[in-house]
A and B are shown apart, each in its own frame.
Chain A
Amino acid sequence: MFLDGRTPPGGAALGADLAIIGAGAAGITLARALAGRGLKIALIESGGLEWSEAAADLGAGSLGEQHYGDLAYVRLRQFGGTTGHWGGWCRELDAIDFEPRDFVPLSGWPIAKSDLAPFYPEAQSILQLGPARYDDFAAVAAEAKAEAPIAPGGDMEAVLFEFSPPTRMGEVYRAELEQSDVAVWLNTTVSDIRLSDDLTTVTGLVLSRDGAPPLAMAVRHVVAACGGLSNPQLLLNADSQVAGGIGNAHDQVGRCFAEHPIVETFAAILALGPATGAPFAFRDTSVGNRRYRPAFQPSAAARRAKGRLSTLVTINEPGPAFDPATGGFDRWDEARLGPQATGAAIAALSGAGPLRLHYRSAGFETRPNPDSRVTLTAARDRFGGRRIKLDWRLSDADLDDYLANLEDLGRAFAAAGTAVIRIDPEARARYRADTSWGHHHMGTTRMGDDPRVSVCDGDGRVHGMANLWIAGSSLFTTPGAANPTLTIVALALRLADRLKKAFAP
């Protein structure tokens, strides 16, 4: 059932057994998982079925020194959330990503991958993926009749992403939710969270909407599933009874904001593959109706041995082509590839046929940094909520790990005779100016066993609160290097499982 918050049905007082705030990947997953159980579920979305400037404006904010996208547009406030423009990249986090590592301060999720593993298969299905084959590179390559680009067993390993169609959850699951017993409240913004007198239990939500006064909704349980920017915004703004906001007794809400820095032009490779210039490593491949993209990352053993963060390197579509007859490339970008004379000499040295240059894209893991954070500003949105400031901090140490991983990959390619690598000598100088991002907002209500350095426990429940839960990538204790959507959905399924127990008679 869909409701428009601007014209709600009159009559009975509003109430819900479970209020889910935010109808994105996490919120829709939760609602679907808990629908049909006799629970009164309200799925509350500040946007409508379509994107609107009015809804986007609620996400507007300011930035610190590090450049980033306009906060009004770096996620979608609409039914379906940011899956509406998601690229579809899927990969599970690795087991090591959950572990405490002495070379990563504040690392160590309160859950292991084995705790999440039972939920990944259903997450695959929800995102319209096949059975997980992320670490099955050799078999997939064989099925694609392609050669592995690096030798197995080394410091760098070849792995896979699988692409979701991508699943636009607002489209794919709209009809199902419309026909379910879930009440989907559109154009409705939660502007305050009301607590019991002892401040340990959420008793109600204040719902704001355009053109009408706020509504009060009584609740038994609440899940904030608004994403890594709006989850902390919601908690910090809910300060009508608790100074500093809910769950923020230790000033942790909004800290440890993590992104995946994306650096597409810091490195290039000259592919020495077949004359097609497109061996398996350097293009997507389809096996059956599944589409995979090869990626390269340091093995777990290498990460531990070298004290190294992870990196997932993928190879972009072919760039400049080298013609041995002319001894030059058909085009060139000196600012990003250095002098063409050197590139041409390197290509000529290979002694092979037509060669292609490719840029290499990579998202890399970063260390949790409490100073990288979301805070509130004095500016207010039209419902009176304070807007956020995102102060994303990039660390030279994280870049060093990325560059070291590239060096290792270059050695692996060279040893296999697959490619020659170029790493921009100016990478460090360019880091802050030329780094892009994955629109992955993580860590701002991180899970942990210690409330002094985390916001939620291993179930996603806000420390000190009986019935306030968080879903989404703001839970990530450390970000890993893989794109987060698959894990967001798996975590939401795990939370649904936990809530089923909470609601059990």
Chain B
Amino acid sequence: MSGPTDRSWRVTRRTLGLSALAALGGTAAGTWPRWAFWRTAAGASLAALASLPQAAALRALGARIVGEGMDQGLEARLEAKLAPDGYDAAVARDRAAGRFVTVDGWRVPETAALAAVWLASAGQSR
């Protein structure tokens, strides 16, 4: 028997699963070849996520949303968001443009959600 939280989690997974995040990242992944990030300074912005003041909160958030299919093209999508001017600016752009994904019902800027997943799974080989 599933309770509200279980149902909520399933909805979240449906929302974030192979649809929303893939869709939001698909364009970026296609436009920005993955190898390019790791050969430029932009790659450094990904690594810099760990030193953000919000890193602990992002990891906690990521623990709620990391799951099957979530890591597909993750770095490429995230790098595309961060490359111009870093995390805070990317989140601000998402907010201004209304780009959100849903985590347990909360509307989270796409960049924050991607960063959360990345940080929650940091250390794993990609």
Contacts and interface: CB of A to CB of B under 8 A. Distances in A.
A432 to B, nearest CB: 16
B34 interface: no
Given A342-B103, A425-B11, A415 B4 contact: no
Contacts, number: 87
B95 A345 contact: no
B108 to A, nearest CB: 7
A338 B4 CA distance: 8
- How big is chain A's contact interface, by range? 20 to 34
Contacts of A422: 104-107
Interface of chain A, main secondary structure: helix
B50 interface: no
Given A411-B98, A422-B104, A423-B107, 15 more contacts: A335-B3, A335-B4, A337-B105, A338-B105, A339-B5, A342-B61, A343-B104, A343-B106, A349-B58, A414-B107, A421-B106, A421-B107, A423-B102, A426-B8, A426-B11
A348 B100 contact: no
Interface string B61-73: 1011000000000
Given A335-B4, A421-B107, A422-B107, A345 B57 contact: yes
A349 B112 contact: yes
A426 B64 contact: no
Interface string B46-65: 00000001101110110110
Nearest to A346: B106
A338 B100 contact: no
B95 A348 contact: no
A342 B64 contact: yes
Contacts of A343: 104, 106
A420 interface: yes
A273 interface: no
Contact of B54 (A348, A420, A421): A348
A344 B60 CA distance: 9
A411 B7 contact: no
A424 B12 CA distance: 11
Contact of A351 (B54, B61, B100): B54
A339 B109 CA distance: 19
A410 interface: yes
B23 interface: no
